[in-house]
Structure 1
């Protein structure tokens, strides 16, 4: 593992009179578990040049994907810069706004930034020397849950509580300080991805899985209709007022880290702020619920979890002294009606290919190299898809139909 000339990036974090005397760099996660870049673990020994005392700094270095294909897929010239902007510019604005409203526990649902750069030559081009250095959350006791299992009820509520804070602060700034929002926040929230053709290509495979459920079969035609609408509409994620706010837009189990104490979940951190943008909070809410919460929890509690999130959002807005009249649950239900089908389409593709994709293989599909248009291959893929994945897909379709969201 190598990381060129990173010492100067840590100067502010280390402080005066401290020098790096040793560093170890290793892979942070197994191959195939991080899809948008390379993650390195940094163990850095620092010496105080006056007292000669040493200390160890634990950090994570995030680099762009090594393969050019993935660099293009993840649009790294935009997304890597956006992540730096999030930590360097937006987070301080959010925290200052909270402090002005006497919020004691300001936003703390992400890792602290230690340093960043786009390259070594001072240009505006992101290259293989680009890096973002963040605190190592694993050393602080945080971990990713197994994506094959997901979040239980208590863990899910904790994640939604933090998500409500993340959404409410920029929403509050938009309401209370619109000039600040339009000048320093909104320009950084542009859409970075559009629906991909590949999503449309997998529709037949998804439909065949849905047809396996008698309860779900009648809804397949509706799914196919909204799927085509989602992939063919360039304005699929066009924001609407008044709910539009900063959206993480890739909120699933691998982009959330959780800390437990004696088996009880106590805190949440969100990671991978590459594709955040300006959307309805419903996008993050449903994306998390549909992809990352255990099936048995969803079946029994999805309505309660949605109401819990909304209650937390309103309480946070009130703490920021915002008028919440336009954000009543009846209005939030309209947001759900508008955007749920978009999340459903995304999740139906995401669940079998990413959530339940193979572990430990870079860029692998769950079924190896395949021709999605081959009846024989699709049949083999369908049979190989785990029951738990099919169950999740079928339930969220049934649920969306029951709510008349599709």
Structure 2
């Protein structure tokens, strides 16, 4: 069984070799199924497949296994595709950096902290294609929560605690192992990426200004302030991407919204949270992940009202875990964190403008990277649909004045 987008190299023999390498008792595969792991319209950059396998062991008993395989949307060009560097970064995160963060907790604390699913590789006859292969966390009871409804206070605080653990370990890693590689410090927010940033800003800002003027019911002065702010986005992007060594910095997940973390629940209680999709890591201000989470994922009833409470909760957990890890550098203060958020408030606007529409948009076959990032008339119309989605309009009418009132848009 296969899906229409499954390349030929994803086959039973490939996974038979994988099991042979990883299970000494493996005998043969009895059932091999490939299905879509994510429904249409939920993933913009990659194809995500679920590989279900029933196999026999040498003692004649049977076992079921399930894997998640992530491959490029365009998967018949080997490594020559536009997002090749994302797969390089994600493989490095899975293989090297995330295990280093987990090991810091094993070294300094009694906590057993897990940030990611197990990562595997094809040893025999690896495909000539970028891929990420990992355990299927669904077998352990992990699930995504509904993105369009938004998460409640209990869920957001649980995510913030896990994020604080991650950020604390990522800061301690610099103390013990040195700076992150240059590509994690620059990401795409550098002079080398300026042309791409400029083009992306145009493709989003043109339809956004139209929709803002017609649907968001802002005062004329507010409209003009936001219009002027959007004219400066490229310079603001480059400023945001620079690492200020005098401030507290972390390795950000970089794409930290509800589709990229999974909850393990038991009797309605959150037992664990695991992160996925490490394609956009960026060393720098923690405002990056905080704004990404808090502008997209809480439900509207608490998103703005509880914002400061969420920041304080994150801060308390961050300091607690930095102390657990014996962080020797200066601890940030809550005042400094708020100042950092104001200084890096570009990301609050970017996430409200570009990520929140994705979060609230119903699954659609039109939801793909070509329409999201492109400037064709079809792509522009797709963005107009996102920006005028009633759920988004309802939220952004409140969010934009709130960003102005807090000095986040200035």
Contact 2:264 2:272 in 1 (8 A): yes
Residue matched to 1:56: 64
1:269-308 → structure 2 map (5 Å cutoff): 269-308=274-313
Residue matched to 1:111: 117
Contact 1:84 1:132 in 2 (8 A): yes
Residue matched to 1:124: none
Residue segments in structure 2 that go unaligned for 5+ positions in a row: 3-7, 190-196
Q: Tell me the alpha carbon deviations over residues 354-404 of structure 1, each in whole angstroms, 9 at most, x when there is no partner.
A: 2233414154559x9974999xx79x9479823321132233322222221
2:178 aligned counterpart, secondary structure? helix
TM-score (norm 2): 0.83
Contact 1:116 1:131 in 2 (8 A): no
Residues 1:21 and 1:7: Cα distance change in structure 2 (over 3 Å): closer
Query: What's the C-alpha RMSD, in Å, of the aligned pairs?
Result: 3.2
User: d(CA) in 2 for partners of 1:190 and 1:8?
Assistant: 37
User: d(CA) in 1 for partners of 2:122 and 2:72?
Assistant: 12
2:138 aligned counterpart, secondary structure? coil
What is the deviation of 1:105?
A: 1.7
Q: Tell me the alpha carbon deviations over residues 26-47 of structure 1, each in whole angstroms, 9 at most, x when there is no partner.
A: 1112222111211111112233
Residue matched to 2:147: 147
Residue 397 (structure 1) aligned with residue 406 (structure 2):
no
Q: Tell me the alpha carbon deviations over residues 82-135 of structure 1, each in whole angstroms, 9 at most, x when there is no partner.
A: 1111111112222222222124222x13211132589837xxxxx54x322111
User: d(CA) in 1 for partners of 2:366 and 2:240?
Assistant: 30
Residues 1:188 and 1:75: Cα distance change in structure 2 (over 3 Å): same
1:306 aligned counterpart, secondary structure? helix
Residue 82 (structure 1) aligned with residue 89 (structure 2):
yes
Residues 1:369 and 1:149: Cα distance change in structure 2 (over 3 Å): farther
Residues 1:187 and 1:201: Cα distance change in structure 2 (over 3 Å): closer
User: d(CA) in 2 for partners of 1:348 and 1:245?
Assistant: 24
User: d(CA) in 1 for partners of 2:340 and 2:124?
Assistant: 37
What is the deviation of 1:252?
A: 1.3
Contact 1:43 1:57 in 2 (8 A): yes
1:119-130 → structure 2 map (5 Å cutoff): 120=126, 127-128=128-129, 130=130
TM-score (norm 1): 0.83
Q: Tell me the alpha carbon deviations over residues 223-275 of structure 1, each in whole angstroms, 9 at most, x when there is no partner.
A: 23332322245443112233222111111122122233233333222211111
Residue 39 (structure 1) aligned with residue 42 (structure 2):
no
User: d(CA) in 2 for partners of 1:246 and 1:362?
Assistant: 32
User: d(CA) in 1 for partners of 2:367 and 2:76?
Assistant: 12
What is the deviation of 1:277?
A: 1.9
2:121 aligned counterpart, secondary structure? strand
Q: 2:223 aligns with which of 220, 227, 230?
A: 220
Residue 236 (structure 1) aligned with residue 231 (structure 2):
no
Residue 94 (structure 1) aligned with residue 94 (structure 2):
no
Q: How many residues were matched structurally? A: 385
